[in-house]
Amino acid sequence: MNASEQLFQRALQIIPGGVNSPVRAFRSVGGTPFFTQSANGARLTTADGQELVDFVLTWGPAIHGHNDPDIRQAIKEALERGTSFGTPNPLEVEMAEMILQCVPAIKKVRMTNSGTEATMSAIRLARGYTGRSKIIKFSGCYHGHVDSLLVKAGSGALTQGNPDSAGVTAGTAADTLVAEYNNLPALAEIFAANAGAIAGVIVEPYPANVGLILPDEGFLAGLRELCTKHGTVLIFDEVMTGFRLSLAGTQGLHAVVPDLVCLGKIIGGGLPVGAFGGKVEIMDKLAPLGPVYQAGTLSGNPLAMAAGLAAVRKLQKQNPYGRLNALGQRVRDTLLSAAKAKGIPLQVPQVGSMFSLFFNEQKVRNYDQAIASNGDHYRKLFRYALDHGVYLAPSPYETAFLSTAHEGVDIDRACTVLDAAVRSL
Ligand code: KE4
């Protein structure tokens, strides 16, 4: 056995499935996961010394590539002052000011330690603010492992074949209504059937946990209109797309203003983080001001704040979004031309530095179409790419990410491999 296999055998004895997060287990793509020893730029180095061009980027945070020197320096400087205080600290004020500067919908914000905490808190806040119970989510969207949102969820839940997790009680699930993404008429019917009872709608504006699905023209605006009409809190879960698609996240691409926004990943620069924010009259319902309780020992942790501030300040300075979109288009065009040459039906939805692959004749607009795509082709492509030094997400129900560190030799190398991978199918 090689080093990763030995590590995995040890892990399997003491960590459920050998992993601390299910999607890492390679269960849907076969084989056993490699263990990462180190990461730099666009590359991971495995415990066996193999270098891989990384399109997972720790599931989104590493938009500057791994081990970015500016982020590393910021953490080092913060570390000299201690790791955690349990009191307010200057960096969390700077982080809040920066988030408000970048994200138009956010007028007050609270930090958490994960995206899950952010979405969990946002739906509790929507319920506390409206006094209503029901929440609408969309099939295939994943908002972290929140009980009430593990209903028809994507990402690892879907990958493991249990989009409706065990352990979520019928009572909890009863207050979660599931709608179809990109289907406004069906959503309007759910609102009509539950008049006055919908506290909030939570949506990934660009669903990226079922592969990547792009919003139809007018869908997000229609969503906004329905929520406004029914007095329902519109929550954009931008844990993944926040600071990824633009400094304003989805709001940099669409003139749609949600009531609450959830953030994570990039704003932690690779350290544990989440945040939620939005309208003042909603956020002021939070303890200690209002009746909605929410808390966290390490919320606003100075190391995570330092790393996140460095990551976002670098985005503000570089404004790399045009470059990242060009990288995304190059990968998309490489994959589509190889599939055309091979005569294989392939969709490659792409927005900025995010893309995914659906082996499907038609454009994928919702969950049912996503899961009807050819998973075997994806698994074969994943394996070919990995064997040739390129790491894609170990599930067809995820999204690939690019970083500025991919520019140059790594994107050239990766496109050559991805082209050959499609042609090998
Ligand atoms: P975390 O609790 O994992 O920090 O964030 C949960 C979350 C919330 N909202 C969205 C849109 C997300 O994509 C996520 C987490 N993303 C997954 C990847 N699809 C994390 C990877 C994992 O679960 O190991």
Alpha-carbon span 206 to 229, nearest angstrom: 23
The rounded percent of the chain whose pLDDT value lies above 70 is 100
Torsion of CA 182, 186, 187, 188, to 10 degrees: 130
CA 114 to ligand 1 centroid distance, Å: 8
**Mean pLDDT confidence for 312-337:** 98
**Mean pLDDT confidence for 387-410:** 97
CB contact at 8 A, 424 and 84: no
- Indicate if ligand 1 lies below 6 Å from the C-beta of 142: yes
Count of C-beta atoms within a 10 Å radius of residue 194? 16
Residue matched to tokens 């400087």? 77
The pLDDT value recorded for residue 235 is 99
What does DSSP assign to residue 241? T
Maximum distance among all Cα pairs of the chain, rounded to whole angstroms: 61
pLDDT above 80 for 163: no
Alpha-carbon span 373 to 154, nearest angstrom: 15
The rounded percent of the chain whose pLDDT value lies above 90 is 95
The pLDDT value recorded for residue 362 is 97
- Indicate if ligand 1 lies below 6 Å from the C-beta of 327: no
pLDDT above 80 for 13: yes
Phi and psi angles of residue 198, each rounded to the nearest 5 degrees, phi first:
-90, 110
- Whose Cα sits closest to atom 15 in ligand 1? 144
Q: How far is the CA of 249 from the CAs of 28, 260, 356, in angstroms?
A: 30, 13, 19
Going by pLDDT thresholds of 50, 70 and 90, the confidence category of residue 357 is very high
Phi and psi angles of residue 239, each rounded to the nearest 5 degrees, phi first:
-55, -40
- Whose Cα sits closest to atom 8 in ligand 1? 143
Residue 287 tokens read as 């303890």
- Indicate if ligand 1 lies below 6 Å from the C-beta of 240: yes
Ligand 1 mutation target, pool 26, 206, 240, most atoms within 8 A of CB = 240
> Is the CA virtual torsion 301, 304, 307, 311 positive or negative?
negative
Ligand 1 mutation target, pool 21, 28, 59, most atoms within 8 A of CB = 59
Going by pLDDT thresholds of 50, 70 and 90, the confidence category of residue 170 is confident
pLDDT above 80 for 387: yes
Q: What is the DSSP string of 181-216?
A: TT-HHHHHHHHHHTTTTEEEEEE-SS--SSS--PPP
The pLDDT value recorded for residue 84 is 97
Per residue in 62-83, pLDDT tens? 999 999 999 999 999 999 999 9
CB contact at 8 A, 220 and 105: no
Residue 60 tokens read as 């989104």
Helix and strand numbers, DSSP H then E, in the chain: 14, 14
CB contact at 8 A, 352 and 327: no
pLDDT above 90 for 159: no
Question: What average pLDDT does the chain have?
Answer: 97
Going by pLDDT thresholds of 50, 70 and 90, the confidence category of residue 282 is very high
- Indicate if ligand 1 lies below 6 Å from the C-beta of 209: yes
Per residue in 108-157, pLDDT tens? 999 999 999 999 999 999 999 999 999 999 999 999 999 999 988 888 88
Per residue in 338-350, pLDDT tens? 999 999 999 999 9
CA 382 to ligand 1 centroid distance, Å: 21
Residue 376 tokens read as 């075997």
- Whose Cα sits closest to atom 13 in ligand 1? 240
The pLDDT value recorded for residue 7 is 98
pLDDT above 90 for 160: no
Q: How many residues does the chain have?
A: 425
pLDDT above 80 for 376: yes
What contacts 24+ positions apart, CB below 8 Å, involve 373-382? 373/211, 373/347, 375/28, 377/344, 377/425, 378/29, 379/28, 379/29, 379/30, 380/424, 380/425, 381/357, 381/421, 381/422, 381/424, 381/425, 382/29
Domains of the chain, start order = 3-63+320-423 (3.90.1150.10), 69-317 (3.40.640.10)
Going by pLDDT thresholds of 50, 70 and 90, the confidence category of residue 213 is very high
Residue 63 tokens read as 């938009």
- Indicate if ligand 1 lies below 6 Å from the C-beta of 115: yes
Active site members? 142, 237, 265
The pLDDT value recorded for residue 64 is 98
Count of C-beta atoms within a 10 Å radius of residue 253? 18
Query: Which residue in 223, 232, 265 sits closest to 114, CA to CA?
Result: 265
Query: Which residue in 177, 263, 249 sits closest to 220, CA to CA?
Result: 249
Q: Quick one: which atom of ligand 1 is closest to the CA of 22?
A: 24
The pLDDT value recorded for residue 313 is 98
Count of C-beta atoms within a 10 Å radius of residue 229? 10
Query: Which residue in 239, 244, 235, 243 sits closest to 279, CA to CA?
Result: 235
Query: Which residue in 170, 139, 176 sits closest to 157, CA to CA?
Result: 139
- Indicate if ligand 1 lies below 6 Å from the C-beta of 119: yes
The pLDDT value recorded for residue 153 is 83
